[in-house]
Structure 1
């Protein structure tokens, strides 16, 4: 990992069934072994990236970013198409 950005974990989104009121932590650094979710691996990186933590509002399937370059984290915005 460079000091400038995340590691691409997957060149495309992870389609995840999200549950209402559940708290999630999306991996922003790309190092987690539990993609797309954080496992604390960012603590050993030098990029200074931290997970995006949120409580989801409703039950639904959403695409979570796998390339870690989204401008709308944790959700995929198609940025993987430009890598």
Structure 2
């Protein structure tokens, strides 16, 4: 049994919880969440892309797509918890889309691929379908 003591102004009061199992029961109903998987690194350089203004694009965030830098749905089986970044450019543009999947400005390259943790990491080879 758990005993809790609290101090009120003139005197001390002590009381005991009669059902310590209540806390354990409540805790067992809590579902623990897991972090989404980390993306794999399909390329250590950005992808040059010609984007059309007003067109919808889905940039791969998991790194498993065979259509890099765009999504082919591989995340549904290989990286559940990650989903593509959908975006629509305002105008036609030539851009550099992140290939390492660790940019701070998705979907655009910010140079993160030059950092040691990317440079020293192994490249992901897509699985045979």
When normalised by structure 1's length, the TM-score is 0.91
Residue-pair matches, total: 81
Where structure 2 has 5 or more consecutive residues not aligned to the other structure, the ranges are 1-35, 119-129
* 2:10 aligned partner: none
Where structure 1 has 5 or more consecutive residues not aligned to the other structure, the ranges are none
Provide the rounded CA distance (Å) in 2 between the counterparts of 1:5 and 1:47: 10
Aligned structure 1 segments of 4 or more residues deviating by more than 3 angstroms: none
Structure of larger gyration radius: 2
Cα root mean square deviation, aligned: 1.2
Question: As a proportion of its length, which structure holds more helix?
Answer: 2
Higher RCO (C-alpha under 8 Å, 6+ residues apart): 1
* 1:72 aligned partner: 105
Q: 1:19-55, CA deviations, whole angstroms, 9 ceiling, x for partnerless residues?
A: 1000000000000000000000001124521100011
When normalised by structure 2's length, the TM-score is 0.60
